[in-house]
Structure 1
Amino acid sequence: METEKKQEEVDGIHRWIAISVPVFLFSFVLIVMGLIFPFRFVFLLCVGWASYLVRTLSRLTISPSLTLMFLSTLLLFAVGFHLYCRRIKRRVSADPVEVIPWQRRWSLSLVSMFLLLAVSGICVISVTHQFFWMATTQDKIFEKLYMGSAGEAARRSTSKNNLKQIGLAMHNYHESARRFPMGGTFDKAGQPQHSWVTQLLPYLDHKTLYEQINFDQPWTADDNRETFEINFILLQSPGMPYDFTEAEGEAAGYKPAHYAANSRVLSANSGMDLCSIKDGTSYTILAGEVRSGIKAWGDPTNFRDPTEGINRNPRGLGSMFKGGAHVLLGDGAVRFVSEDIDPGVLKALSTPNGGEPVGEF
């Protein structure tokens, strides 16, 4: 008997070694490869709740009156539930003489189970609400967490399509006005009035919004404030913040534009026509992505000089995408221009009639 028991212990040790050694070797290989995520996940799953309690318990405030009310209500419910169950058991028993009284521990177990189910239900509802908020919030949390190549490609495609829609609107505007929209309109005193985006609204399927604007007043006037607080998704690049928090937005509530016009083509009270772009529309930038110094879409000063560089200067073009930024060319095409582009080539693309050779870019 003792021999069999010892043999079982030896077999158990062998099984433990047979399982633990491969797991240890596999874990070692993952650590050497730098794959720490599985171990962090398991660790946080096991003890993450403890650190959460340490952080939150010190901030919790307990109301004595509410606590006493809850405990009193729970006690009354437990007593009433016990008396009710004891009465029911007597009624349904076939032989009342031999009936076993309903035990307090049975009532306590059932009340504890009900309480646990109620708390679990609240937790499930809270977790579901949290996931729904994460999926629908404008912060796009899932989009930020997912930084794979597929997500990057989708964001680039969306931003590229936004610029194409802007380019189409610019050309439709040109057909009507015989020129591109002004980069920004300013009155005789030099006060800013309205932006190039505002002029494009009828050609961006927002004619009703355009008709609501009082053009006798600047874009920051009280009569126009509600209009320019509208979120314009077409002018927002995926991955960029949706709330306008830059220093230029002195009036909170205005929504941002993640695209700016080329100041050498669309500037203050000036919008060129196609015939004036001597270097060719295929080699002249009309607008591009920006990642810093962001202005509201109604701001008449939302234009900048692309020769300042791409991802190199707050006053130049840029994007959240790796390696460069999208630009809209005069022929309506959208190209992704590298941040390492030759400054001379970038200047040639920025000037409409400089006569510089462009070549490949």
Structure 2
Amino acid sequence: MMETDEKNEEVHGFHFWIAISVPVLQLSLVLIVMELIFPIRIVFLLCVGWASYLVRTISRLTISPSLTLMFLSTLLLFTFGFHLYCRRIQSRSSTEPAEVIPWQKRWSLSLVTMFLLLAVSGICVISVTHQLYWMATTEDKIFEDIHMRGEPQAARRSTSKHNLKQIGLALHNYHDMYRQFPVGGTFDKTGQPQHSWVTQLLPYLDQNTLYEQIDFDQPWTAADNRETFETNFILLQSPGMPYDFTEEEGDAAGYKPAHYAANSRVLSANSGMDLRNIKDGSSNTILAGEVRSGIKAWGDPTNFRDPTEGINRSPRGFGSKFKGGTHVLLGDGSVRFLSEDIDPGVLKALSTPNGGEPVGEF
């Protein structure tokens, strides 16, 4: 009897490894075929490109202990319930229970692991397909534009767009708390600059530790605050732009730059705005955007500018090193790419929160 049980267990184990080996072999065959069909450079980017993505994003990742614990607890409960369910199904379907090997815990663990891998694989396949389609159809195609540190412009644009979306989410979370957007910059009664809109958003950008280090009773340039504002803030830096101030931009005394600025018509000196006061509609009003010149430090309270100065036309306006225009964050949290040839009237309508001008297509 014991020999029969051992043989049955060996058979089950053999079938399990066969079930795992077949998909792995199929995936390997697909990769081989892809290498034969597509240019080697594209296959290399697909297989190794994740490394550069991790380098860019891993410093921004934060792990929530509470959410992690909740996920692990839920997964444990699911595994336990699944194991009990499988044992019950086995006992009900077996006509001769004495000859059947009881359902093993490791079988349940193996199946749950496979379910997780399949779910993650499905999400990855969908994401990769969507990203490949976007990179193949966007204005800056991955097949045509690989330069600047070997990173395609399409990937840099995607990262910068993601940065603006994160800023937009933080602005709306701040608005939910205080019923208005943060002021563009705080200034004391004598007009001396104190702190920027970015500083006020730190708790909503997963930077609570950085926020708690700041002495708000002193200006951002005070000696006690210097080390904090010399911290490199990756989310505020656009790919392809220098991570430090250049000589042409003057001496920034070690402070780190922000490649995004606020719309001075919405966030300005000691002035924030309630969404209810944006009469032109949040989807038709610029909150912030990329900048390529006249760059300020991320802690500088004067880090806001007027979009009506034009796109890539003035050091006081918005712009980027991306071909043809720049990304802007709208009041509804969406990010749009504005052409540098946009009609000045449309740009003005997008810049004013309650100007009443018709926006039209942009």
What's the TM-score once normalised by structure 2's chain length?
0.59
Q: Give the aligned partner of residue 304 of structure 1.
A: 305
Question: Would you say how many aligned residue pairs link Structure 1 and Structure 2?
Answer: 217
Cα distance in structure 2, aligned partners of 1:342 and 1:197 = 30
Cα distance in structure 1, aligned partners of 2:252 and 2:167 = 26
User: Is the 8 Å Cα contact of residues 185 and 268 (structure 1) preserved in structure 2?
Assistant: yes
Amino acid paired to 2:201? L
**Structure 1 212/145 Cα, relative in aligned 2: closer, same or farther at 3 Å?**
closer
Q: What secondary structure is seen at the aligned counterpart in 1 of 2:155?
A: helix
Q: What secondary structure is seen at the aligned counterpart in 2 of 1:337?
A: strand
Q: Give the aligned partner of residue 254 of structure 1.
A: 255
User: Is the 8 Å Cα contact of residues 295 and 302 (structure 1) preserved in structure 2?
Assistant: yes
Q: What secondary structure is seen at the aligned counterpart in 2 of 1:267?
A: coil
Q: Percent identity?
A: 85
In the alignment, is residue 177 of structure 1 matched against residue 181 of structure 2?
A: no
Root-mean-square deviation (CA, aligned residues, Å) is: 1.4
Cα distance in structure 2, aligned partners of 1:297 and 1:215 = 15
Q: What secondary structure is seen at the aligned counterpart in 1 of 2:348?
A: helix
Cα distance in structure 2, aligned partners of 1:232 and 1:265 = 23
Q: What secondary structure is seen at the aligned counterpart in 2 of 1:266?
A: coil
Please tell me whether Structure 1 or Structure 2 has the larger radius of gyration of its CA atoms. Answer: 1
Cα distance in structure 2, aligned partners of 1:245 and 1:199 = 26
User: Is the 8 Å Cα contact of residues 245 and 252 (structure 2) preserved in structure 1?
Assistant: no
Tell me how far 1:248 sits from its aligned partner. 6.3
Q: Give the aligned partner of residue 188 of structure 2.
A: 187
User: Is the 8 Å Cα contact of residues 324 and 339 (structure 1) preserved in structure 2?
Assistant: yes
Superposed CA deviations along residues 173-206 of structure 1, whole A, max 9, x for unmatched, are 0000110000000000000000000000000000
Q: Give the aligned partner of residue 339 of structure 1.
A: 340
Cα distance in structure 2, aligned partners of 1:159 and 1:246 = 24
**Structure 1 251/327 Cα, relative in aligned 2: closer, same or farther at 3 Å?**
closer
Tell me how far 1:245 sits from its aligned partner. 2.9
Q: What secondary structure is seen at the aligned counterpart in 2 of 1:287?
A: strand
Q: Give the aligned partner of residue 282 of structure 1.
A: 283
Cα distance in structure 2, aligned partners of 1:272 and 1:310 = 24
**Structure 1 316/197 Cα, relative in aligned 2: closer, same or farther at 3 Å?**
same
In the alignment, is residue 144 of structure 1 matched against residue 158 of structure 2?
A: no
Tell me how far 1:146 sits from its aligned partner. 3.1
Q: What secondary structure is seen at the aligned counterpart in 2 of 1:300?
A: coil
Q: Give the aligned partner of residue 166 of structure 1.
A: 167
Q: What secondary structure is seen at the aligned counterpart in 1 of 2:357?
A: coil
In the alignment, is residue 295 of structure 1 matched against residue 301 of structure 2?
A: no
Written as runs of structure 1 = structure 2, the 5 A alignment for 1:83-98 is none
User: Is the 8 Å Cα contact of residues 246 and 294 (structure 1) preserved in structure 2?
Assistant: no
Q: What secondary structure is seen at the aligned counterpart in 1 of 2:148?
A: helix
Cα distance in structure 2, aligned partners of 1:231 and 1:259 = 14
Q: Give the aligned partner of residue 272 of structure 2.
A: 271
In the alignment, is residue 240 of structure 1 matched against residue 241 of structure 2?
A: yes
Written as runs of structure 1 = structure 2, the 5 A alignment for 1:70-219 is 144-146=148-150, 151-219=152-220
Amino acid paired to 1:276? N
What's the TM-score once normalised by structure 1's chain length?
0.59
**Structure 1 164/296 Cα, relative in aligned 2: closer, same or farther at 3 Å?**
same
